[in-house]
Amino acid sequence: MSASPTTVASLAAMKARGERIAVLTCYDATFARLLDEAGVEVMLVGDSLGMVLQGHPTTVPVTLDQMVYHTACVTRGSSRALVVADLPFMSYATPERALESASRLMQEGGAQMVKLEGGEPYLDTVRQLVAQGAPVCAHLGLQPQSVNQLGGYRFQGRDHASAERIRHDALAMQDAGASLLVLECVPQALAGEIARTLTIPVIGIGAGAECDGQVLVLQDMLGLNPGRAPRFSRDFTVAGGSVRGAVDAYVVAVREGSFPSAPEIAY
């Protein structure tokens, strides 16, 4: 683990060296300090806070003001990890609105990168964000903000047509200037193929063990999910024995490639 701050360039260098990238969601300064000390490369201020902190059934109700607030909390506790903030539902409906939203997350919240869900319809948005100096993380596969359209949290890319669409969108997002890609709930073979094809790092969640890194929702990783935990998750407090131990165990497991293991790979 390097003591130097994580940057877009250092993440790309990790991929080139074949070093796996450890990512966790984070929503406050206390956990930000803990994750930073444990060596997590990327902290994702996810709109998942709508579910794990606010108690909503989806991420849709989360507002931009709330994302700015939590991003600022995280950046105050972080000195080394790269902080990525989600653009919440409808905050990037047009390129102009995306620029305004990203400006707030980066200027007021201190984020170093913004993340958006979706493929081809958002290529121009990504180009304009990058042109203005805002690094972008793309998010393909299961897109939680579209849960009402999808009819639930369902695995994506299991048929030929949807797999081809994800492949196409992944390459298109890279070409548009995205610096990072999250693949959620897609088959391991598809995720691995995309990770090997792209030059930018690919971070998986429920996408098997062949990505360049892994991300989990912090509360899932700590076994704090009040409902049924996602199949692709793991309660790292079992191995770690404490909150700090769980984070350390997660980072080691991602680094050495022992997470996700076969039981945690759905497809």
For residues 76 and 122, give the distance between their C-alpha atoms in angstroms, rounded to a whole number. Answer: 30
pLDDT recorded at residue 155:
86
Catalytic residue of the set 184, 193, 210, 256: 184
Residue 210 is among the residues annotated as catalytic for this protein: no
- Residue 47 labelled as part of a binding site: yes
92-138 pLDDT, tens digit each: 999 999 999 999 999 999 999 999 999 999 999 999 999 999 999 99
pLDDT recorded at residue 98:
98
254-265 pLDDT, tens digit each: 999 999 999 888
Q: Is the pLDDT of residue 266 over 90?
A: no
pLDDT recorded at residue 265:
85
Over range 141-150, report the average pLDDT.
Answer: 88
Over range 31-42, report the average pLDDT.
Answer: 98
Q: Would the pTM of this model clear 0.75, i.e. be above it?
A: yes
Fold that domain 8-264 belongs to in CATH: TIM Barrel (3.20.20)
61-83 pLDDT, tens digit each: 999 999 999 999 999 999 999 99
What are the phi and psi torsion angles at 5 (to 5°)?
-60, 140
Burial class (CB in 10 A: 0-12, 13-18, 19+), 228: exposed
- Residue 86 labelled as part of a binding site: yes
- Residue 41 labelled as part of a binding site: no
- Residue 235 labelled as part of a binding site: no
For residues 91 and 111, give the distance between their C-alpha atoms in angstroms, rounded to a whole number. Answer: 16
Burial class (CB in 10 A: 0-12, 13-18, 19+), 200: buried
Three-state DSSP class for 130? helix
- % pLDDT > 90, the chain: 90
